[in-house]
Amino acid sequence: MTKYEKNKLTLRRWLLGASTVNKAYDTVNRAFDLAETRTVGFRKDKVTPNFNHPLEVTLYLTTLHHGLRNPVFCYAGALLHDVKEDFGVTDEDIAEKLAYLAPDVCKIVERLSKNSGIRKVVSLQEYFDAMLEDPASPIIKGADRVNNQGTMLGTFTPEKQMEYVEETDKYILPMLKKARKLYPDQESAIQNIRYVLSTQVSFVRAMHQKI
């Protein structure tokens, strides 16, 4: 069994178990189905399926479960965070699968999309500031960046790696600091993400002698 197959099986089992306690997780399972169907192709390494990325982002968030205000929105948003911008999924597609939770999840996915065909970001500062409008988006973006930075070595050029960590340091870490104040009930989850991101930034800078 490949790592990708293990990730799919692990998350599916976790969500099915959660749905036996809380039926809202049935919606997250439907988000899983939609994301798996529409997140096609491969990552930049030409080997790993694209769907592995939202799987790993969501699996990371499950380890922060008790520090999330609304885990259902976080998991559904994490699974679908790239589908509008990269795979042409529409609000109507999401509504068909997610029913009554669709409006909230659509807004989260929209905030996480730099260019979804509906909203075009004027500046990076505007993009990251908009994420502070709900408690789930900063969490998902932070976890997304953790995964991107954790998988970019050996795939991205040193210049691209430095570009990523500089953006993290300039925009994402400050955004998460603001989110911690806005949503203090999520402090433990946010602090975990900030610590991992800061460690990654320091490692990449040291590796490229850019401390």
Average pLDDT value over all residues in the chain: 93
Tell me the C-alpha to C-alpha distance, in Å, between residue 43 and each of 3, 75, 148, 170, 189: 14, 21, 11, 25, 27
Q: How many residues does the chain have?
A: 211
Residue type, 168: T
The predicted-structure confidence for 69-117, as pLDDT tens digits, reads as follows 999 999 999 999 999 988 989 999 999 989 888 999 999 999 999 876 5
User: Helix, strand, or coil here: 81?
Assistant: coil
pTM (global) more than 0.85: yes
Among residues 12, 48, 6, 9, the alpha carbon closest in space to that of 30 is found at 12
Within 8 A by CB and 6+ apart from 107, the residues are: 134
Among residues 166, 171, 99, 170, the alpha carbon closest in space to that of 131 is found at 171
**Is the pLDDT reported for residue 118 higher than 70?**
no
pLDDT bracket for residue 211 (50, 70, 90): very low
Among residues 143, 197, 209, the alpha carbon closest in space to that of 167 is found at 197
